[in-house]
Each structure stands twice: as structure tokens, then as C-alpha cells.
Amino acid sequence: MAKMLDTYVNDLRESRLWRSVFRSGTGATNLHRALAVQQNIFLHLFSVKMRRAALNFSVTWYLGTLSLATFLILVATGIPLMLYYHPSVPQAYADMKDLQFVVSAGVFLRNLHRWSAHAMVLLVFAHMFKVFYRGAYRPPREFNWVIGVVLLIITLFLSYTGYLLPWDQLAYWAITVGSNIMSAVPALGKKIRFLMLGGNTVNANALLRFYVLHCVILPLAAILFIGIHFWRIRKDGGLYTGEAKSHE
């Protein structure tokens, strides 16, 4: 049975259609494997070869991958949520109610988005602690650490901007308090707050701004920096597996 399955899979991979998409072809040689990685737009960010040790759970606890996974879940649930949501003052909260009461699996979508967002913040922090305590931020990886810090900030901003969108009391006051904190910045405080809210109080403009930031600007920035982050892993010599081994 297993053998039969293998033949089918092999036949499929030899087919013209398959080959037109995955050009590296089959074969168990190092070249084929290297090509498979190198010729794939997603995988080519990674190095073609890596140490087996880097795959050990204890090295990374898979925290970076899990952060990426939550990010992907957030994108995947966020897009359908956008279909039901209007960033307007009279409609925003009513849309929450629609999601809760009439949209099929609406509650599931919202909850998945919300819990993934919490998980992502948690995982990103955990990832940074792991990197920090293992010393993986040291040269030659110091630039990637900086990218990581930028990604942490983007994550937090995504979380914060998403908080306003339900337009309930919690959201309203959280953003009011947050933007007031912002205005405590010396000299520029009031201007930053005005820029952030598109006015002096949390209202329609603030909602629209936060919506655009949450759904367009910040996700695009996150994708860009995630790309750089992964590419730099490869350029900086793969995952950091430990003091002794990295000197080999």
C-alpha cells in the first residue's frame, strides 16, 4: 500500500504540470535538494543546508516559527473579518454584533483572531528572551536582533491598533489613555497625539487611521521585516546553535 502511494506520488512529480511549477525535479542528490530550496520563492530565503542540531527543539523551542504561524493565522482570519467590518462610528460596533449573532462562524473568526493576537505577542516576547539569554544576538547577528526589535514594536502596534476597532467602551478608553500617554512626550507630545488620532479626541478619524494602520500599513511593514529577518538568518550563518558549535 505504502509502495503504491509512493509510485503515485513519484508519477505525479514527474508529470509535466508538476515540473512546470517545481523545476528542480526529483532526485535524492544534494544538488536536487539544494535546487528545491533555491528555486522556490518562499524557501530561497533560507539556506539550502542547515545543521541537524539547529532543528533540535531545545535550540529554539520553535518560538520564531510559532510567532510566524500566529502571524499567518492572524492574516488568514483578519481578511474575512475585514469583509464584515466598516471602520465608521455608527457601524463599527453594530458589525461586532453582526459577527456575534448572524455571521456564520463569526464568533469563531473573531475569537481565533483575538487569541492568536494574544499568543503572538506572548510568543514574540518569549522568542526575544530565548534569543537574549542564549546570546544569539551577538555578532554577526546583531543586525538581525535590531530587526527583531523592530518586529516586536510592529507586533505591539498591531495589537494596539486592533484594540480600537470593536469601538466599545474598553476600546475607546484604552485608546484615550494610550494617546494621552503619547502626549506626554516632551515638546512634540501634543503633535504626535494629533497625528495619531487625526484630531484631539478619539473619534471617526482616529478609527479610520487605526483601521488603515492595522489592516494595511503595519501588516505590510511586518511582512517586509519578517522577510529581511529570515533572509538575515541565512546570511548570518543559520540558526545559532550554541557557543561551542558556532566556533567550529
- By the rule CB under 8 A, 168 interacts with other proteins: yes
Q: Which stretch binds other proteins (CB under 8 A): 3-11, 39-47, 67-75, 90-98?
A: 90-98
- By the rule CB under 8 A, 94 interacts with other proteins: yes
Q: Give the nearer residue to other proteins in terms of CB position, either 54 or 112.
A: 112
- Pick one of 22, 61, 98, 192: the residue that binds other proteins (CB under 8 A): 98
Nearest distance from C-beta of residue 113 to other proteins, angstroms = 14
- Pick one of 21, 29, 169, 186: the residue that binds other proteins (CB under 8 A): 169
Query: Mind spelling out the 3-state secondary structure of the chain?
Result: CHHHHHHHHHHHHHCHHHHHHCCCCCCCCHHHHHHHHHCCCCHHHCCCCCCHHHHCHHHHCCHHHHHHHHHHHHHHHHHHHHHHCCCCHHHHHHHHHHHHHCCCCHHHHHHHHHHHHHHHHHHHHHHHHHHHHHCCCCCCCHHHHHHHHHHHHHHHHHHHHHHHCCCCHHHHHHHHHHHHHHCCCCCCHHHHHHHHHCCCCCCHHHHHHHHHHHHHHHHHHHHHHHHHHHHHHHHCCCCCCCHHHHCC
- Pick one of 13, 86, 97, 118: the residue that binds other proteins (CB under 8 A): 97
Nearest distance from C-beta of residue 110 to other proteins, angstroms = 12
- By the rule CB under 8 A, 29 interacts with other proteins: no
Q: Give the nearer residue to other proteins in terms of CB position, either 29 or 169.
A: 169
Q: Give the nearer residue to other proteins in terms of CB position, either 121 or 174.
A: 174
Q: Give the nearer residue to other proteins in terms of CB position, either 86 or 97.
A: 97
Residues that bind other proteins (CB under 8 A): 90, 94, 96-98, 100-102, 104-105, 108, 168-169
